[in-house]
Amino acid sequence: MRLIKKILLVTFILNIGVFTNVKATPASFADLAEKLMPSVVNISTTQTVKTTSNQFPFQFPPGSPFEEMFKDFQRPTERKASSLGSGFIIKENGTVITNNHVIAGADDILVKVNSKEYKAKVIGADPYMDIAVLKMETKEKFSPVKFGDSDKARVGDWVVAIGNPFGLGGTVTSGIVSARNRDIGMTRYDDFIQTDASINQGNSGGPLFNLQGEVVGINTAIIAPGRSGSIGIGFAIPANAASKVIDQLINFGETRRGWLGVRIQEVTKEIAEAVDLKSPEGALVASVGEKSPADKAGVLAGDIILEFDGKKIDSMRTLPKVVANTKVGKKVQIKIWRNKKLISKNLKLGRLESSEEFKEKKTKTKKIEEVEIKNLKITVRNLNQEDIAEKKLKINKGVVITEISNKSPLKGLLKINDIIIEAKGTPITKPSDLIETVNRMLKKGDKNLLLSIIDNDNRRRYLGVKLN
């Protein structure tokens, strides 16, 4: 009996020790909300939308000879469109942060602080990260908030959102950090903090606070399938990433991001095996922009970028962020996996905002024949000038897939009219190139095939497949 009592006592003491290390749930957010509310603003915008009205109670079909005739009778009309959002003050002089989509295209911007409204102008905006900096047109002093270190925000930490949902200003909601580093396909720099604090339409641009009253995120998006309100899945731009953009917008009125000039894709397990890379890491270069910094440095399609300016590229998503945060004009070294070897290249970084439209490097046209590729159980044909003209292709070599057998290892991975341009690092200019490459690797016992293709959307990408 004494032994049982001792065990129970030890268990009780251990449990007390565990619970003393756990942070207590806040009894109330009232003091925090009261302190922060004066720094959170409501934003309303108006925009003039121009349309044309038809005076007649009927419409002519497109291409009708009467369509052009009656265009002169259509009256141009204007209407005012309005939108609502949130923001927060970061300087005493009335500098306000919000989302770019809140103010994009606006003719007039009004910022409401408590019950007073002020006109505001745009200091700078960045559509890439969806951030805008405003300045209220007044000499009054305001109560600013500070940015916190968003890298220290952990999954499970309490957070508080304050904003203007559905035009209901001064609304406070609370929740926790649900996840970090979320990519929802919204921007090329997606790295969102996910939270279950209630975020709705009108919360866009508002702050996400930690319990110290520091801004750790800018509320930007929600996922609510089939609904207009929150289901507890909201996303905020991390404060650390936002701060760098905000500083540039305040100092220059624009952003100045680094530019490499490549299109990239994920390195899959199959691709890694095909090129003898130890693990799926880095960013696979799908195509290189003509006259881009990457092109001038000798970067090639099929290269896998493993390191940029001393920073490890552990996944495809890492590279755009690292490049963007690197100073324009800086000379950097990149480490590349090419032909199963690690090589280095030096380049001078360009500027994204002033970069030209992405143009892939062109190659010379070669005539190819049509044939069945038995080992792959596919049928291909020559790439011709009609294909190039019709699809506005930026390549002029390769084989076009016309048939894929149900027993093909490429079934479900490739589509009819996809164009194979490279296999195992070997350019495919005719079907025999593909046959020889596949036969050569199978003879060596190598069953990991890496293909470079141009898909039906005219995008170059890589595909790793294990042959039977």
Per the CB < 8 A criterion, the answer to whether 310 and 330 are in contact is no
- Tell me, rounded to whole angstroms, the distance of Cα 281 from its chain centroid: 18
From CA 64, how far away is CA 70, in angstroms rounded? Answer: 11
Options 101, 126, 178, 418, the catalytic residue: 101
The CA radius of gyration of the chain, in Å to the nearest whole number, is 29
Q: Which amino acid is at 467?
A: L
- Residue 368 Cα distances to 130, 216, 320, 426, 429, angstroms: 47, 57, 37, 15, 6
Active site residue 314: no
Q: Are 134 and 120 in contact (CB under 8 A)?
A: yes
- Residue of 150, 174, 198, 204 marked active site: 204
Any catalytic annotation for residue 418?
A: no
220 backbone dihedrals φ, ψ, rounded to 5°:
-130, -40
The region, left, alpha or beta by phi > 0 then psi within -120 to 50, assigned to residue 352 is alpha
The SS3 of residue 414 is strand
> If we measure between CA atoms, which residue out of 236, 155, 152 comes closest to residue 191?
236
For the question of residue 101 being annotated catalytic, the response is: yes
Q: What is the DSSP letter of 170?
A: S
Closest CA relative to residue 100, chosen from 132, 123, 134, 136: 132
Q: Which of 130, 196, 387, 433 is catalytic?
A: 130
For residue 290, give the DSSP letter. Answer: T
CA angle 414, 418, 423 (to 5 degrees): 75
Q: Which residues of 298-333 are buried (b: 16+ CB within 10 A; e: fewer)?
A: ebbbbbbbbbbbebebeebbbbbbbbbebeeeeebe
Residues classed as catalytic: 101, 130, 204
